[in-house]
């Protein structure tokens, strides 16, 4: 791929053809990633080290933590961010290979339809991630986690585990749900903006 294609691809990713798309890029790329990368590490970085059960033994703590966290929130949200970026990246890669200018995307029906499909796919992926987050993490992190340790062949089957900084984690969960909702709203608004431009209610860029 030539440097011109790479330049067109990067410009397309950073400067989508709609105003709301550009705001979405700013929100998604800056605020959301900063929140996850900086605050997420601060809240969840040492969770496994401070997760303790009764009795406080390494094998019990590790077993119960793996049961409590089948996947760590940081990994899940990082995967979510990457996967949601894929549809837009594919579209802008296609536009770069076809030498499609950003201002032409909303002028030709086929380009517009392809772009709307990529935005719609982002919505679907965000909704699926929202549902998976509910299934994996719920809406609240409790201070006590009841762990089933029967597989360890212990005399007891259920043990109590202390979840560190559970209140901070609850706030962070709510914030990530909020970010997902905002992103979906922005994607819906972007489709609405494109429709208005195609119908002539708004001037194209």
In 3D space, the residue among 4, 180, 12, 187 whose CA is nearest the CA of residue 89 turns out to be 12
Residues pairing with 193 in the sheet = none
pLDDT on residue 132: 93
Architecture of domain 20-204: Up-down Bundle (1.20)
pLDDT tens-digit readout, 178-202: 988 988 998 899 888 888 877 766 6
Average pLDDT on 145-170 reads 82
pLDDT tens-digit readout, 99-153: 777 777 777 778 788 888 989 999 999 999 999 999 998 889 898 988 888 777 6
Q: Are strands 144-148 and 158-162 parallel, antiparallel or unpaired?
A: antiparallel
**pLDDT of 7 higher than 60:** no
CB-CB contact of 133 with 176 (8 Å):
yes
Q: How far is CA 135 from CA 2, 36, 139, 200, in A?
A: 44, 20, 9, 43
**Rounded to the nearest 10 degrees, how much is the dihedral formed by the CA atoms of 147, 149, 150, 153?**
-170
pLDDT on residue 128: 95
């Amino acid at each position: 791929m030539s440097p011109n294609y790479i330049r067109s691809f990067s410009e397309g990713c950073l400067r989508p053809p709609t105003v709301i798309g550009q705001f979405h890029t700013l929100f998604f790329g800056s605020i959301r990633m900063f929140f996850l990368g900086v605050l997420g590490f601060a809240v969840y970085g040492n969770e496994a080290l401070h997760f303790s059960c009764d009795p406080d033994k390494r094998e019990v703590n590790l077993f119960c933590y793996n049961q409590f966290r089948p996947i760590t929130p940081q990994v899940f949200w990082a995967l979510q961010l990457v996967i949601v970026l894929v549809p837009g990246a594919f579209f802008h890669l296609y536009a770069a290979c076809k030498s499609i200018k950003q201002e032409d995307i909303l002028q030709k029906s086929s380009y517009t339809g392809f772009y709307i499909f990529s935005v719609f796919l982002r919505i679907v992926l965000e909704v699926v991630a929202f549902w998976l987050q509910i299934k994996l993490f719920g809406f609240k992190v409790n201070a006590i986690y009841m762990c089933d340790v029967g597989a360890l062949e212990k005399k007891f089957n259920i043990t109590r585990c202390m979840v560190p900084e559970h209140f901070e984690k609850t706030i962070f969960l709510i914030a990530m749900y909020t970010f997902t909702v905002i992103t979906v709203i922005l994607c819906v608004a972007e489709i609405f903006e494109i429709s208005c431009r195609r119908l002539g209610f708004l001037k194209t860029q």
